[in-house]
Structure 1
């Protein structure tokens, strides 16, 4: 297969190490599902400001300077505009491309995603909700009257999640249109976090077929901190050799389930905390969720996330700030010392540092 005809799997990664760790794991999961790291039937391109994390991966690095990224965000400095520019750049040189967000991993071969793209078809992660269901958003309150009047949208239009954007080169005009709409509507809806997805939706609506792939990838925009903890644990263990047999085997151990204790254990935690003052009970149950000894090492890595969530939820329940003295007092009570044992020192240190 000629290079220009090979499917192109594209990532756009810049900024904090977290995003590079996510991309590293996503790429490793793609290669693991392809089955043969030495002979990939597709090309992987990474637009990035930091090529170092990808040194051990069979990818093409597309250097992304701060100046280029800023230019891609213009005319309004809109951060997510860069996604559409990146895949449009790739489609200048290739027949078929798919841009995927870093907070993803593969349940199946990436080739299965490309099989869902045909000329005239836009592949996205998923349909999310009807336009009318987002009536509280400025994308509806500000734009809906004029979009309906112009025949560009209606209340039943499905909004799209752009964690995946897949297109044939012959359909790249869709990206030109979505960029035009972003530039037009951003000044009127600057607080709309999903403007990029919305403009992709408008550009495709009634003009292109839409295909989805939530069964083929997991896009962890929900429960992100728990999933990041798993991914970061994998990256700490395997970043030096991400394509080793052990690393690829461990990919399948990073599951998409929320690592809660079993139902019976949760009942035991509830019973154990009934003797605590009412205001401490929910906090301690959530702390104990992070103490459960999961068999899976990547589920165990989620413990600090549960502890952080316990503190966050406590803060939302009380009017005064959660201070270190309060945490120390609660964790040092006789019952909590009995329940937590020596783990309470680790928990306390994590919470005050966080």
Structure 2
């Protein structure tokens, strides 16, 4: 690793794999810079560890090429890819007094320096503090690990869970990452299919040792409804990808907001009334299609249209089984829905028929 300035906060990204993750990371970085008050002297270093440096060429970041062999080694012994987050942050903290590792599917609402104000000795900054470990007793992590954790006095049902979309620590507390990595290595065979194992092990490692702080007011972590937020970000990149730090690009960052686009209340009531004329199984599907087709004044909300349509079909198929192409055509040609969708109906039909064949 390169020696870096020690006095500035370190914002760290780990981005690899499909282009989508790099798009997310680029927008997250620009949103951090857009909220940075440089006139007040605010500054930070942004480190990107990635298998593809090219997407970051227009950004003021330090890129560290992450080859496949290194990342594979970070994921051993079980090939658990979230393990690399903790390994990376541990290495960064060997060089810097404090650092924040942030997931790519995030964007900032406020200055990123507000994150670092919450990173103090004796504390762990996470994205969000969740419920208690014992609240969901059907969870695999509860059923398979509770007795082990209690026997070793590592955790109990009152332990708060955390969302690790953000992990911020000082160097003095970096040992919590060694502990969390060891727990991942031990528990992965017992909870192989638990998607949240990584952040669960972080919660266990920090329990009774570190105070927890969260930052949902500073960043939006769009782990839910990801398709809609990705659509907004991709629209921003199509418009500003060549000049991501121009005045226009930074102004448009504020339009990529953390709200799912929804029509006004009266419009939604009208959509609901229309859907009542359709078979019960198709009502929610119709409303979601109409939500996506509404002419939102915000151009980045309008960019969510196809994501809404895809989600509508996904929800319908999940509830009632896969809809056949002819059934889909009949639904879209219902007189009320056909009239409401107007000129967009043919585009929606073509899009959904193509999606249904994937």
Common fold: TM-score over 0.5: yes
For 1:292-331, list aligned pairs within 5 A: 292-319=294-321, 321-331=322-332
SS in 2 for 1:128: strand
Q: Distance in 1 between matches of 2:338 and 2:173?
A: 63
- Whether 1:77 and 2:79 are equivalent positions in the alignment is yes
Q: Which runs of 5+ in 2 are unaligned?
A: none
Q: Distance in 2 between matches of 1:333 and 1:213?
A: 46
Query: Which of the numbers 96, 113, 124 marks the counterpart of 2:98?
Result: 96
- 1:46/1:62 contact within 8 Å kept: yes
Query: Which of the numbers 142, 155, 164 marks the counterpart of 1:140?
Result: 142
- 1:5/1:96 contact within 8 Å kept: no
- 1:53/1:239 contact within 8 Å kept: no
Q: Which residue of 2 aligns with 1:238?
A: 240
Q: Distance in 1 between matches of 2:108 and 2:130?
A: 20
Q: Distance in 2 between matches of 1:282 and 1:185?
A: 40
SS in 1 for 2:6: helix
* Cα distance, 1:279 vs structure 2: 3.7
- Whether 1:339 and 2:336 are equivalent positions in the alignment is no
Q: Distance in 2 between matches of 1:224 and 1:309?
A: 10
Q: Which residue of 2 aligns with 1:284?
A: 286
> Cα distance 1:182–1:341, how it changes in 2: closer, same or farther (>3 A)?
same
* Cα distance, 1:169 vs structure 2: 1.2
* Cα distance, 1:278 vs structure 2: 3.7
After the TM superposition, which of the residue ranges 267-276 and 206-215 deviates more from structure 2? 267-276
> Cα distance 1:86–1:314, how it changes in 2: closer, same or farther (>3 A)?
same
SS in 2 for 1:198: helix
Q: Distance in 2 between matches of 1:127 and 1:276?
A: 42
SS in 1 for 2:35: helix
> Cα distance 1:280–1:204, how it changes in 2: closer, same or farther (>3 A)?
closer
For 1:1-354, list aligned pairs within 5 A: 3-36=5-38, 41-319=43-321, 321-354=322-355
- 2:274/2:337 contact within 8 Å kept: no
Q: Distance in 2 between matches of 1:350 and 1:293?
A: 18
State the TM-score, normalizing by the size of structure 2. 0.94
Q: Distance in 2 between matches of 1:201 and 1:333?
A: 51
- 1:6/1:96 contact within 8 Å kept: no
Q: Distance in 2 between matches of 1:95 and 1:212?
A: 20
SS in 1 for 2:293: coil
SS in 2 for 1:342: helix
RMSD: 1.6
Deviant stretches of 4+, over 4 Å: none
> Cα distance 1:326–1:76, how it changes in 2: closer, same or farther (>3 A)?
same
Q: Distance in 1 between matches of 2:28 and 2:138?
A: 33
